[in-house]
Each structure stands twice: as C-alpha cells, then as structure tokens.
Structure 1
Amino acid sequence: MAGHVYIGSFTSVGGRGLTTATVDPDTGALTALGDTAEVPDPSFLALSADRGTLYAVSETGSDGAAAAFSLADPAAPRLLGAPVPVRGGSPTHLCVHQGHLLTANYAAPGSVTVLALRGDGALGEVRSVLEHEGDGPDRERQEAPHAHAVLTDPSGRWALSVDLGTDSVRVCELDRTSGELEIERELGLRSGIGPRHLTFHPDGEHAYVMNELDSVVTVCRWDADKGSLRPIAETRVLPPDAEGENYPSELVLSPDGRFAWAANRGHNSIAVLTVDETGERLDLVDTVSCGGDWPRHLTLDPTGTRLYAANERSGDVTWFDVEPATGIPEQTGSLTLPAVSCVLFG
C-alpha cells in the first residue's frame, strides 16, 4: 500500500506550495496528487506526535508565520485556520515540543517563537519569543543572530536552537506555565563555522551539527541529564580536490547509526560518511551526485533504505536506493517540482 509524502516549496519563486504525493513501497517512486498554495513559502514541514497534523513555516520576510493542516484525509491536507504570525522574520524550521509549536526565525535578530497548540492540532496564540544575541566574524552572513533550526532532544526535555549568525547552539527549557523558553546554556562552536542544522545519533548520547559556512560536521557529546552539548571532533563533507563555494544544508543518520549523509549545495553532491561504534568518529568515504542543483533538504524514508533530496534550483526531488553494506546511494528516480525545499514522510 502506498504511503503519503508532503513536499514544501517556495511559492515566491514559482513553487507550488504544499504538494502531496504517494510513494510506491516497492520502488520508492513519488507520484504527485495535488498542491495547495494557501500558505506562501511553506519551506519546512513537521508532523504532530500522532501524525494527524502537519505544520509548516511560512518563510516570508519580516512577517513570517506558521500554519497547521489536518491530515484526517492524508491525501488532501486541510488548512486549520489562517496562518499565525510568529513575530519574527523568515522562519526556516519548526518542531513540536511539549505541547507547543516552536519556530526558528532566521531574519535578524534571529529568534525562536513558542506557539500554543489547541486540542484539534490547530495553532493558538504566540506565547513567547526568545530573541538571540551576538554575531560572528563573517560580516555578510553573521552580522546578527540567525536562528536556523530548532528541535527537541531525544529525552523530550530540551529544545535546541541552532544559530548560524552566532556560531552557537542554545539549549533551552520550556516553562509550560508561562510559555517562556529559558536558556540553560549556550555552546559556542568554532568561530565562523556557521551552524545550520543538528541531528542526534540513535544512541541519544551524541549529536552532529551541520555547518553551512565551513563544510564540516561537528561531532558532539550530549548529556540529556544536564542539557550539555560538548564538541569533540570535526569531519569535512567535501573531497580534498573540491573547488568552488559550498554550503551544506542537511545531515541525516541511518536508523542503526552506521552511516550519515550530508547534502552539499554548490558541490551538488551527497556526502557519504561512516560512523564508528562509539558515535564519535565520522569518516568521509564518498560523494555522489544529488541528481540536481542546490540540494536544500535530505531525508530517509521510514525504512531507512532510501534517500530523498530536494533540489531547490533545478526543481526536482530525486531518490536513491542505499546500498546496505556501504551506505552508497544510487539514484533511481526523480519528480519535477519547482523551487522545492523539504520532503516529509507522513
């Protein structure tokens, strides 16, 4: 039986908004069912814990917003009320955390917004906005804070905010009574590295930061009891002979923690990395073509055997079978979608 996939894109440059597709379980092929442009620039998507509600950012300038869609009919997402302004600009990422929706707002000053969630999954009011402070050495990209991602740690206690502008990750705790995010500690990474996204190892004790301004992954130890993140190593995601500018976007790990894959925008490749048994060493073993231009997002299917890349500039989603012994992806198909930015399995 085919499942459903939800794909975000930038309507401001010709994207279709939110696209719903089916996925063939035997081949991994995507077939588009329909689109809705009710929400402008739904560039990143997330699901509720029960997978019955789909959330999207609306990555629009100074007046960014978030929106909720009912998946009562998975083939036809239904907008639940009007998009809610997040009181921050250009929200790029979001997550569900302790009964709230959190958005990472990139436009200066970068911030994280906390929105209430209603019983039916719809969005309520903005409960708080945590503005980041600081800057970095790159005066074009780091003149101010730029929150690029926010996610829940595996314990469910902490919300981690990744800031490209300040070269740091903030570990926050949510006060459910007030709706305020309180910073427990801030981890400073190497100056000018430009952290973009973060993902956890299946063991829950290691985390990996994908850095956009210097093409490396930072390996960190994570202590959920203390909310402590400590960097211990870096691994480059480009081969030594790579030329030209490159801006990595996404990092995903295999369900068994043996492999990691990074999307390289510019080099237009998927970096294949092995992860040792401790989770503390990553080695680049190969790069393969992403099958398009500017891979903004990368995700695995629920089985962990296929990889999907959202190639923003070429306007297509490409998919790959992953060789189980080596982790090397082999492209097996593509779907044309203009200005595509995110792929999410329902």
Structure 2
Amino acid sequence: MPNVILYAGLGSELTCYRVDAHAGGLRRQGSVTLPAEVQYAVPDRSAGHLFVASSNRNNEDSPNGAVHHLTTFRIAADTGLLTQVGAPGPLPDRPIHLTADGAAAHLLVAFSDPAGLRVYKVNADGTPGEPVPQADPIETGIYPHQVRVTPDQKQVILVSRGHDPKNGKPEEPGCLKVFDYRNGRLSNEASIAPNGGFGFGPRHLDFHPTGPWIYVALERQNRLQVFSRQNGRVSDQALFTRETLADPARRGRRQLVGTVRVHPSGRFVYVANRGDATVEEGGQKVFAGGENNFAVYRIDAGTGEPALIQHIDTGGIHCRNFQLDSTGRLLAASHIQPVRMRRDGEVVVVPPCISLFRVGEDGKLTLLKTHEVAITGRRIFWMGLVEV
C-alpha cells in the first residue's frame, strides 16, 4: 500500500498523522496553524500541495467572524509534513467546501451563507490568485454545501441543500446546479430540482469512476439517490432512491445524512448517517439517541443501482468526514466534537475521535481502531487522506 497520511483540522491547527493501514494506527508527525478554524482542504492531483480553507465564522457558533482565507502548503514527499507557501489569500466569507480542477490550475470555492461560488486562479508557485471573472451571474440555489468538477473536467456541479421548515418559515428547496466548465469559467447553468426541489435536500455527491452515475446524499431526507450523467446532461429525476437509516421509522430525532463516497473500484458506495440530538438532563445536554453508522451498498455494474449490504457504527458521534484510500482497502472517519451520553446509568463524555476501518473484498467494513483526540474547546471540522 502507498504511504497514507491523515490530516485533521483541530480548530485552527492542522495536524499530520502517518497511518498504519494494517493495524489502524496513527502516529502524529507535526502540525501547522491556520489564520482561523480549518473548514475544508484538498490536495492537487500530484499530492504536491494542500489547499486549505479557514474561517472564524461558523454559522450560529460565531456568526460575526470576519477572518476567511485560502492557504497553500507544500507536502513533504517522505513525511507528509506541511510547509506554508506564500501568504494566505483572503476570501469574502466563510468557505464551506473547495475543490481543485484536474490540473490544479484553479480552485473552486463554495459559500453557504451568503450563498456563493467563486473560481480562483492558482499562481505558478501554488498560492491562490485572483478570482476568475464570470461572464454571467451565478444562481447558486439555497445553502450550497459542496462543489465538484466532473471527472472529464467539462462540468461543475454545485450541491445546494435548502432548508427544512423551521420556526414558522416554509421549506426552502434544494437543487444541483450544473455548469459547463472551461479554463476557470462557468457557463450554461442548469438546475436539477426534482419536485421543484421540495423534499430534495442534497448535501454531497460523488461520481462513479467508470459508469455514468452520480450518487447524491440527501441530508434532509436521510436518503441516497442515483442520477445519470450522459453527454453532459444530468438526469432530471433520480434513477434510484434508497433509505440510508437502519431504522427509518425512528426519524423523530435530529438525524442527518453526511458524506457519500464511491469505492475506487466502482463496486460499492458508502454513506454516513449522523445523529447528534440532545436532551436536557440535570442541567446538562445529553445525547438523545440516533444513528451514527455507515450504510454500505453494493453497486450493480450494469445499472448503477445500489443494494444495501451493511450498517456499521462509525465509532463515534456525528461523523462529519470520511475518506477511502486509493486502494479501497482503508476507510478513515472523523467525529466532530465531544458529546455527553448516558451509559450504564451514568453520564459519560464521548470524546471526538478518528476511527479507521478495513474494507473487505466484499465492500464491508471492519473497525480496526478508534483514536480519541484531545482537543478541548476545539472541533475536528475536517479530515482527509493524502498518499505520499
């Protein structure tokens, strides 16, 4: 297996670990500090650089934050340790997601609130440059959560989640915004919004490596949907819809779908279920119950249809990020923050953690090890794997 490096954003500190993929071990290598809390990061295709988005504004936690940046780091080929390249580039608001195009000539950044999508040129030294002017205004939809470039580099898809009804406000619909893409420029915008986007709350998507299928995780509906993409056109309706929860009848608590990943072989797809609702007990908030597991599906090679083969606990509460290595034999998952939980009649603190799983030939997961992470007052908001 290649040398796998795991990076975890512990607040504003980005920490580098070497992974023992056989035993599930993590060995801390070192860390760097960002201008604010790490929001998301992505390497270039050669794993020579890591581009990191940071912000001190995080929705209701810190609504008035005004520090938002893109920072480039050089990745050491032997250790994975990071060295900052140049100065951080300012962003207009909190970035929720970013990605690089195939040549890492541009970075595409999604903003949730206010909603936005910007494309930034990458300078010759790897630092973020100026935003690329767009010929037409971009209609982002409501609350973008992810931006991806299609594998053929010809299109960009912005995933906009919308909002459930709340406090007397009606539902705000979700959608997939599809753009043609060339040299940093977006054009010919189209909107995919089944039922007008009502009852459609997409958070993340992933592409099948060889087939014409897009796997979309619906955060607000706890479902996985499959769309087709052929000749540059994404289907208006889902080909298949699957429940992600093991017990969908118990949906009364706050229950969310998270990240979705297609196995590198194209034979399996993985979705994270997240439950983090709390109730007041004795003056403290205690976990109210819910599903924190992976739903694992086998993919039909002819149709792209997913068939559920496993539910397995993620190893912690609220798995915000998970990723597979390039061989498809290792899965790493991070859990965002500590949660109080009633266990054997006592209230205990379940710490934030990183769990490592072995992926079998049949696609099923086996937990190797869970690593508690001491991050008092901080969160593991992003985690990812890079191979050196």
Q: Does the Cα contact within 8 Å between 1:94 and 1:104 map onto a contact in 2?
A: yes
Moved more, 146-155 or 241-250: 241-250
Give the conservation status (yes or no) of the 8 Å contact 1:8–1:44. Answer: no
Q: Hey, what does 1:187 align to over in structure 2?
A: 192
Match of 2:149 in 1: 152
Kept after mapping to 1: 8 A contact 2:95/2:109: yes
Q: Which residue of 1 aligns with 2:243?
A: 236
Q: 1:303 to 1:280 in 2, by over 3 A?
A: closer
After superposition, residues 1-346 of structure 1 pair within 5 angstroms as 3-9=3-9, 11=11, 17-61=13-57, 63-72=67-76, 74-87=79-92, 89-97=93-101, 99-108=105-114, 110-128=115-133, 131-134=138-141, 145-165=142-162, 166-176=173-183, 179-189=184-194, 190-223=197-230, 225-230=231-236, 231-240=238-247, 241-243=249-251, 244-266=253-275, 267-313=291-337, 314-325=351-362, 327-337=363-373, 338=375, 339-340=379-380, 341-346=382-387
Q: Residues 157-194 of structure 1, C-alpha deviation per residue, up to 9 Å, x if partnerless?
A: 11111111241111113353xx5422431111341321
Q: Which amino acid aligns with 1:316?
A: C
The 2-side partners of 1:332 and 1:316 are apart by 13
Unaligned runs of 5+ in 2: 58-65, 163-172, 276-290, 338-350
2:384 partner amino acid: V
Amino acid corresponding to residue 226 of structure 1 in structure 2: G
Whether contact under 8 Å (2:18, 2:27) holds in the other structure is: yes
Secondary structure, aligned partner of 1:81: strand
Cα distance between partner residues in 1 of 2:234 and 2:316: 38
Displacement after TM superposition at 1:122 (Å):
1.4
- Change over 3 Å in CA distance of 1:4–1:322 after alignment to 2: closer
Give ranges in structure 1 of 5+ residues lacking alignment.
Answer: 135-144
Q: TM-score normalized by structure 2?
A: 0.78
Mark the CA change 1:30 to 1:242 in structure 2 (over 3 Å): closer, same or farther: farther
- Cα distance in 2 for partners of 1:271, 1:291 equals 13
Matching residue's letter, 1:22: R
> Which whole-Å CA distance do the structure 2 matches of 1:226 and 1:4 have between them?
34
TM-superposed deviation, 1:228: 2.8
- Contact 1:65 / 1:84 at 8 angstroms: preserved in 2? yes
TM-score scaled by structure 1? 0.87
SS for the counterpart of 1:278 is coil
Aligned counterpart, 1:140: none
1:95/1:204 CA distance change after superposition, 3 Å: farther
CA distance in 2, matches of 1:254, 1:212: 20
Supply the distance in 1 between the matched residues of 2:159 and 2:140 (Cα, whole angstroms): 13
Distance 1:227 1:79, change over 3 A: farther
Q: Give the letter for the 2:131 counterpart.
A: V
Alpha-carbon distance change, 320 to 242 in structure 1, aligned in 2, over 3 angstroms:
farther
CA distance in 2 between counterparts of 1:27 and 1:67 reads: 33
2:285 aligned residue:
none
The 3 A distance-change label for structure 1 pair 217 and 38 is same
Q: 1:9 and 1:107 mapped to 2: Cα distance?
A: 21
User: Over residues 8-47 of structure 1, what are the superposed CA-to-partner deviations in whole Å (9 max), with x where a residue is unaligned?
Assistant: 3252xxxx52111111243242211112222422222111
Distance 1:275-1:2 versus aligned 2 partners, 3 A rule: closer
Instruction: Provide the rounded CA distance (Å) in 2 between the counterparts of 1:92 and 1:197.
Output: 12
C-alpha separation in 2, matches of 1:219 and 1:40: 36
**Greater radius of gyration (CA):** 2
CA distance in 2, matches of 1:75, 1:275: 33
Cα distance in 2 between the residues matched to 1:227 and 1:118: 32
Change (3 A) 1:26 1:280: closer
Partner of 2:168: none
Q: RMSD across aligned C-alpha pairs, in angstroms?
A: 2.2
Q: Matched residues in 1 for 2:68 and 2:199: separation?
A: 26
The CA deviation at 1:151 is 1.0
The amino acid of 1:284's aligned partner reads L
CA contact (8 A) 1:60 1:91 kept: no
Whole-angstrom CA distance in 1 between matches of 2:129 and 2:271: 35
The alpha-carbon deviation at position 131 of structure 1 amounts to 4.6
Aligned length: 326
Contact 1:184 1:227 in 2 (8 A): no
